[in-house]
Amino acid sequence: MSQYDTLIVGGRYFDGSPNPSRIADAGIRDGRIHAVAVAGAHIRNMAFYNLPLRFLKLVYESQQQDEPVMSLERAGQH
């Protein structure tokens, strides 16, 4: 049995940076993204990005630039 409810394989991944998008696999569990594997490798064989921490960092940086996308409190609930 898979550790994810849904696997998205070969999707386009945007990480929120100015860098170009990449092809990636994503593991979804309980309606949330739990893992992203970049470079086309299968998700079970990759080290995973810590997406929730990256999300909080991007929200924090948007606030520091006086262009908040949401509050840190709300971001922490996602």
pLDDT at position 56 over 50: yes
Dist CA 62 CA 39 (whole Å): 27
> Measured in whole angstroms, how far is the alpha carbon of residue 40 from the centre of its chain?
15
Dist CA 14 CA 2 (whole Å): 25
Dist CA 6 CA 28 (whole Å): 5
The residue ranking higher by pLDDT, 39 or 45, is 39
Which tens digits make up the pLDDT trace of 5-38?
A: 998 888 888 888 888 888 888 889 888 888 887 7
As a whole number, mean pLDDT of residues 71-77 equals 85
pTM exceeds 0.85: no
Q: Does the CA dihedral 64-75-24-39 come out positive or negative? A: positive
Q: Where are the domains of the chain?
A: 1-47, 50-78
